[in-house]
Chains A and B, each alone.
Chain A
């Protein structure tokens, strides 16, 4: 084989008729002048001949019987569990929806927890006490009563 010849790498696709027409014509022109590439092409053709020459085994005598037994088993299984098709078909969307819901719940819960700093959390947890006894130093917090209530619920 001529290791220098770049056309050698195209011979396999040329043999398969998979080169564009222009490239195929170039290879043919090259083959007319290059003995090494002609030998290389011939060797590939012989390799294919060896591959094609492999005899395919005849199916064994009970090949069909064994196969149809397996088909019968598949049919029996399908009849025994008529809902199996539904579950096989339907479990993916159900699982995907469930996972999406779970992820959303975790994010919402985690976000809610992160929104409360230690001070706000303390105030929210002791809201009634602080309100009744007017011990809340930060009066602005009382102006946002609804927000504080929701913080309490989230905590």
Chain B
């Protein structure tokens, strides 16, 4: 990032290529839809590009990158258009298999027979994640999937380490409860 700040455009290209899949994956898990996730990932990298001149290496680059990605995701789900967009995409199921179907979840908490097929399992997990409170969701994903420390997550979402610990504990408990309804407590 410091190389890019010094004017080396290839350094940014390298960062983009290195992290784009991770950022798309994070945004996808967070918002529950791959098309939206791509837009959010692009917005994240655009913010990095614009902010390069003000970048100060206080922490790992990835910590800063995922702080921006978390802000972008949090902003997105606050928008009323997010829900509308999600609902309109739900109407076209072929576009995305990760789509959470909240209406179906509410109407029928016990899911159908082919539950254990891999894609269905992933859809169930995606649904459960998008139902977590937004900060809890960010903390849990940053820990479990991105493997940041509690201290780093605190810096990313603007909370103390103690608060992060509580958020992750509650997130895990809630997710465990939701998934046990589908898979049982100790399936594997």
Contact = CB atoms under 8 A, between A and B. Distances in A.
B98 A57 contact: yes
Contact of A54 (B16, B125, B150, B173): B125
A60 B36 CA distance: 12
B160 interface: no
A67 B165 contact: no
Contacts of A70: 42, 46
B3 interface: no
B168 interface: yes
A9 interface: yes
A57 B25 contact: yes
B150 A16 contact: yes
A70 B49 CA distance: 11
A48 B144 contact: yes
A60 B186 contact: no
B70 interface: no
Interface stretch (A36-44, A117-125, A133-141, A143-151): A36-44
Interface residues of A, number: 31
Contacts of B16: 67
A16 B143 contact: yes
Name which of A13, A47, A58 has the most chain B CB atoms within 10 A of its CB.
A47
Contact of A13 (B28, B129, B165): B165
Interface of B: 16, 20-22, 24-25, 28-29, 34, 37-38, 42, 45-46, 49-50, 98, 121-122, 125-126, 129, 140-141, 143-145, 149-150, 165, 168-169, 172-173, 175-176, 179-180, 183, 185-188
B121 A50 contact: yes
* Interface SS of chain B: helix
A141 B7 CA distance: 72
Name which of A18, A39, A53 has the most chain B CB atoms within 10 A of its CB.
A18
Nearest to B168: A12
Given A18-B150, A39-B185, A12 B49 contact: no
A95 interface: no
B139 to A, nearest CB: 11
A59 B20 CA distance: 8
B106 to A, nearest CB: 21
B25 A53 contact: no
B45 A67 contact: yes
A46 interface: yes
Given A16-B150, A44-B176, A67-B42, A56 B21 contact: yes
B121 to A, nearest CB: 7
10 contacts: A12-B172, A13-B150, A18-B150, A46-B186, A47-B175, A51-B144, A57-B24, A57-B28, A57-B98, A74-B50
Nearest to B141: A51
Contact of B172 (A44, A55, A58, A71): A44
A83 interface: no
A79 interface: no
B42 to A, nearest CB: 5
Given A16-B150, A18-B165, A43 B180 contact: yes
